[in-house]
Amino acid sequence: MKRIGILTAGGDTPSLNATIHGAVMRANQLRIEMYGLIKGFNCLFNPRVPHVHLNPLFQEIPELDPTKGGTLIGSSRDFVDPNKKDELDLISGRMKQLGIDGLICIGGDGTLNGLQPLAERLPTVLAPKTIDNDLGLNYPSEPDEWVRTSDPQDPSGYSYRRAESDASFDLDQIVNYATPGYATAVLVSAQGVERVRTTAESHRRIAIIEVMGRHSGYIALGTAYGQPDIILIPEHPVNFELLVDRVKYLYDLQKNVVIVCGEGIVDELGNELGAESNTTDTGGNVALSGAADALRARMIQMIGDNYFQRYRRGNSAREAIFTRKVGHTQRGGRPILFDRFYAALLGAKAVDLLVEGRNNAVSILQYDFKRGFHVEGYDANRFRDRWGLIHPRYMHHSLYDPRLMKPSKMGNDYLLPIFTGAIGSDDAEHMRQTLFDPGNLAQPYHSINTDVHKRIRYLSAEG
Ligand code: F6P
């Protein structure tokens, strides 16, 4: 293997540069050239294939900083359609012209879905990333539990659901225990919870904080570190009666309540509280927005104004209950130590997998009590159901206590290995040294895109 292409696909995460860095470092050791393909799959559809040589003379370019969030080679939500054979042929032709012997895609479940048709034309490996932590399996046999029924309403003609499971769940069985980006997203979200708490306490208010994660509750679960009173996850329909009882109990006790909800939470009928009707992104995912607002509206209606007036804690429920979204701040900025370290290992492992001759494979992060965290290779097909589809991992129900609406004992056990020691001392020091740097006031922001642009090369110019 002489030259590897690498691209970042889907929503960004804080640790994409760290994964690229790990891959480039390994490539340098093996004397392999590494080309960064600009803007994810978008680059492959462009006959000029804009790209950057990331390790000329087997030295990493200085713009590649593993402590910087986002991705220096850009990302997009474009994806490869397996049915468009002509397009796929064009792509593999372009890769050949560029002299690329293998491809690393840094992506999530959507990217993994598009890997198969590429892997039939060129050795391709996925290095995982997603703040949602939904790329993986609760146990190896999970893909076999999916059943499909025809559904004229769905554009694919089918809908998928999970059959009853007879597999036992054990933390040691998880495939891809945690995904780079997740830990930093939890850090930002848990900090948000801590900060909102003191204002809720001071003003005797009920705060609802919405976090990302699509249909997986892992980010919401992790915010337990910020000590919210209640956590609502998409995997468990909201029981409004129970929720309001618990809110009133807590409000009586402490004069404030902090609730965290995942953006994909559903009501008792399974309807998404925050789904914007008919809106999907280019990857076909329903755009989720407004779960916290929908929850607030329901709570205002159920609790009513009298309750707050009686306590002399506000004139109305509308005044007392407020919402905040952590939003894209949880997806950006400097990755914390856990993410940086394991992202780099996963990037390096992806290179090793290609060099070992593996194709259609994924580098995964495994955890067990004896060995701690370690990276392995896993065949992508083992993530696929029997029709070849990859489904996002849902958080296993045993990680959540639906009565207390908090992580269960097992949920805590799941979080501990990831987050104990996840923040490096340099992470805290970095903030101390850089945020209030007087230079920040004097100089405008200098974007990485400006520097990388100077390095972009095009196929036609070279060919
Ligand atoms: O999949 C990552 C994610 O951040 C989700 O948690 C969220 O729903 C979505 O992407 C937001 O996407 P966009 O940046 O396109 O608004």
Per-10-residue mean pLDDT of the chain, 463 residues long, equals 97 97 98 98 94 98 98 93 90 95 96 90 97 97 96 91 92 97 98 98 97 97 98 97 98 97 95 72 65 96 94 87 96 97 98 98 96 97 95 96 98 98 96 95 96 95 46
Q: Which residues, 6 or more positions from 437, have their beta carbon under 8 angstroms from its beta carbon?
A: none
145 located within any domain: no
230 located within any domain: yes
- Which tokens go with 89? 């042929």
Pocket test for ligand 1, best of 78, 184, 214 (most atoms within 8 A of CB): 214
How far lies 318's CA from each of 142, 210, 297, 321, in Å?
43, 17, 8, 6
Residue 131 CB less than 6 A away from ligand 1: yes
pLDDT for the residue numbered 350: 98
What's the total number of domains in the chain? Answer: 2
72 with 127, same domain?
A: yes
Q: Where are the alpha helices (DSSP H) in 30-144?
A: 85-97, 109-113, 115-119
326 with 347, same domain?
A: no
269 with 222, same domain?
A: yes
Residue 172 CB less than 6 A away from ligand 1: no
Tell me, what CATH number does 10's domain have?
Answer: 3.40.50.450
70 with 104, same domain?
A: yes
- Alpha-carbon distance of 30 to 64, in angstroms, equals 19
Question: How far is ligand 1, taken at its centre, from the CA of residue 389, in Å?
Answer: 20
pLDDT for the residue numbered 463: 45
* Ligand 1 atom nearest to CA at 131: 2
pLDDT for the residue numbered 462: 46
- Alpha-carbon distance of 195 to 220, in angstroms, equals 16
21 with 120, same domain?
A: yes
Residue 274 CB less than 6 A away from ligand 1: no
**41, 114 in Cβ contact below 8 A?**
yes
- Alpha-carbon distance of 221 to 217, in angstroms, equals 6
Residue nearest to atom 2 of ligand 1 (CA): 11
| Closest to 135 in 3D by CA, of 292, 272, 291, 13 | 13
pLDDT for the residue numbered 80: 85
Reduced to 3 states, what is the DSSP secondary structure of residue 11? coil
27 located within any domain: yes
268 with 379, same domain?
A: no
Q: Which residues, 6 or more positions from 39, have their beta carbon under 8 angstroms from its beta carbon?
A: 50, 73, 74, 75, 76, 78
Q: Which of 287, 315, 330 is the last residue of a domain?
A: 330
Residue 132 CB less than 6 A away from ligand 1: yes
Question: How far is ligand 1, taken at its centre, from the CA of residue 197, in Å?
Answer: 25
169 located within any domain: no
442 with 325, same domain?
A: no
Q: How many CB atoms lie within 10 A of CB 392?
A: 19
Question: How far is ligand 1, taken at its centre, from the CA of residue 328, in Å?
Answer: 8
Pocket test for ligand 1, best of 106, 132, 133, 394 (most atoms within 8 A of CB): 132
Residue 331 CB less than 6 A away from ligand 1: yes
380 with 305, same domain?
A: no
Domain that holds residue 356: 3-132+335-384+424-453
